[in-house]
Amino acid sequence: MTVQGPVRYAMLGGGLDAFIGGVHRRAAALDGELTLVAGALSRDAQIARDSGAAYGLAPDRTYLSAEALIAGELGRDGDERAELISIVTPNFLHYEQARACLEAGFHVLVEKPMTMTSGEAAELESIARANGLACVVMYNYTGYPMVREARARCAAGEIGTVRKVFVEYHQGWLSAKVEAEGVPQAEWRTDPKRAGLGGALGDIGSHAENLTSFITGLEIESLSADLTSFVPGRALDDDASVLLRFAGGAKGVLTASQICAGEGNGFSIRVYGDKGGLRWRQEQPEALELLSLDEPTREIVRGGPGAGSDAAEGSRIPVGHPEGFIEAFGNIYRGAAELVRAAREARDASSMGQLTPTAVAGRRGVRFIELCVKSAEQDSEWTPWSDAD
């Protein structure tokens, strides 16, 4: 048995005072495939040091800036140096940091949305490709085994030619003006300078766009968007309704809203083809419902009969023992690790790696936000897809 050491990764952001960093660390730790070796965890030096200590980092690898981290790690031996840098800072920092990492030869993993503009995303995509580096974008919901099952079923033609997609992402946590009450998650997400063009659209609508693309493979041909800021004084949208027309004639309805009072994290997708349909809900992620014109609805569950190989690879424990959000997140980290290993071994990535969302998806997601905003500004005019203005 050949035993392979874990992939070494560093983290930008994600100090003890941050939220999403903890999810990343848990997800990365889950399978023992990655090990955290360095970090520039906060712009506050004290928090950065405390966080490094808490996470078990060596003091000399607890850096105080991205630049220092890059320089410090480049100065280490290749078998010790961080291979992958995970960027969990607010949106507006992604581009600059990711570019610096990629240019220095590090693989990167970036939170979504990937950048503030699609032009920046295209640049990152191009640098990563040129340098043979992985540029993973954290579309974590594609890590759910049953999402991968849905994709496989769709690709296998089980529901026929897709006609209609309903994808929705409904939360309630921004129903009141919590950004004025010091909820840090809310603060930067509702600030155009740090979040970008989209509010709910960027934060969760981009997940909805990605999930649709991941499962169906459909390409948006044009879209018509209606964006609203329901909460008085909020600069960005907290509610988005988007009609979609796909190449080939399929259509879709995408809604993203953070003012659905009482909803938790209501992300779901339904896809209908000319033979059948499928339904998946993030809040009960272990099941995929498969509908048919001719047969009873079947419920495929992770680990159960009928679940295919992509689902199995992304699965850790038997049927009925629920895996959840962190496990799905962990599958993106496993995919990133696999891309790093494939690069160091100069081989093609396994399916776990190939299913992992990268800069292509990241750029498309940013472009989706831009085009929705453009359509909304023109009274929901149908706006054709174009990769650049």
- Which residue in 132, 312, 317, 387 binds its own copies (CB under 8 A)? 317
What's the min distance (Å) between Cβ of 111 and its own copies? 15
Site for its own copies in 32-51 (CB under 8 A): 32, 35, 50
Under the criterion CB under 8 A, does residue 64 sit at the interface with its own copies?
no
- Which residue in 156, 379, 388, 389 binds its own copies (CB under 8 A)? 379
Under the criterion CB under 8 A, does residue 257 sit at the interface with its own copies?
yes
Under the criterion CB under 8 A, does residue 59 sit at the interface with its own copies?
no
Under the criterion CB under 8 A, does residue 156 sit at the interface with its own copies?
no
Residue 68: name the closest of 45, 36, 40, 105 by CA.
40
Site for its own copies in 160-189 (CB under 8 A): 160, 163-164, 166, 168, 170-173, 175-176
Interface size with its own copies, residues (CB under 8 A): 95
Q: Which is nearer to its own copies, 122 or 278 (CB)?
A: 278
Under the criterion CB under 8 A, does residue 228 sit at the interface with its own copies?
yes
Please identify, among the stretches 82-90, 123-131, 188-196, 376-384, the one whose residues bind its own copies according to the rule CB under 8 A: 376-384
Question: Which residue in this structure is represented by tokens 């496989």?
Answer: 152
How many other C-beta atoms can be found within 10 angstroms of the C-beta atom of residue 35?
14
Give the contacts of 303 (CB within 8 A, at least 6 positions apart).
312, 315, 317, 318, 319, 320, 321
Phi first, then psi: what are they for 158, rounded to 5°?
-65, -25
Under the criterion CB under 8 A, does residue 293 sit at the interface with its own copies?
yes
Under the criterion CB under 8 A, does residue 338 sit at the interface with its own copies?
no
Q: Which is nearer to its own copies, 125 or 168 (CB)?
A: 168
- Which residue in 80, 155, 180, 284 binds its own copies (CB under 8 A)? 284
**Which string of DSSP letters, residue by residue, matches 217-246?**
---EEEEEEEEE--STT-SS-SEEEEEEEE
CA torsion sign, 64 to 65 to 70 to 75? Answer: negative
Q: Which is nearer to its own copies, 78 or 305 (CB)?
A: 305
User: Residue 210 CA to chain centroid, in angstroms?
Assistant: 8
Question: Which residue in this structure is represented by tokens 């594609």?
Answer: 142
Joined together, the tokens standing for residue 44 give 């506050």
Question: Which residue in this structure is represented by tokens 């295209």?
Answer: 122
Under the criterion CB under 8 A, does residue 56 sit at the interface with its own copies?
yes
Under the criterion CB under 8 A, does residue 130 sit at the interface with its own copies?
no
Give the contacts of 337 (CB within 8 A, at least 6 positions apart).
6, 7, 33, 34, 84
**CA-based radius of gyration for the chain:** 21
Pairing of β 220-228 and β 383-384? antiparallel
Q: Which is nearer to its own copies, 33 or 123 (CB)?
A: 33
Joined together, the tokens standing for residue 166 give 């309903």
- Which residue in 219, 248, 297, 384 binds its own copies (CB under 8 A)? 297
How many other C-beta atoms can be found within 10 angstroms of the C-beta atom of residue 178?
15
Element housing 289 (H / E): strand 287-292
In degrees, rounded to 5, the angle at the alpha carbon of residue 8 between the alpha carbons of residues 5 and 9 is 155
* CA 309 vs CA 145, 152, 305: distances in Å: 9, 9, 12
- Which residue in 80, 103, 274, 377 binds its own copies (CB under 8 A)? 274
What's the min distance (Å) between Cβ of 261 and its own copies? 5
Element housing 383 (H / E): strand 383-384
Site for its own copies in 355-374 (CB under 8 A): none
Q: Which is nearer to its own copies, 96 or 158 (CB)?
A: 158
- Which residue in 132, 261, 377, 387 binds its own copies (CB under 8 A)? 261
Distance CA 200, CA 351 (A): 31
Q: Which is nearer to its own copies, 209 or 327 (CB)?
A: 327
Q: Which is nearer to its own copies, 219 or 283 (CB)?
A: 283
Under the criterion CB under 8 A, does residue 265 sit at the interface with its own copies?
yes
What's the min distance (Å) between Cβ of 122 and its own copies? 30
Distance CA 45, CA 54 (A): 14
- Which residue in 280, 325, 333, 368 binds its own copies (CB under 8 A)? 325
Q: Which is nearer to its own copies, 65 or 222 (CB)?
A: 222
Please identify, among the stretches 2-10, 128-136, 189-197, 210-218, the one whose residues bind its own copies according to the rule CB under 8 A: 2-10
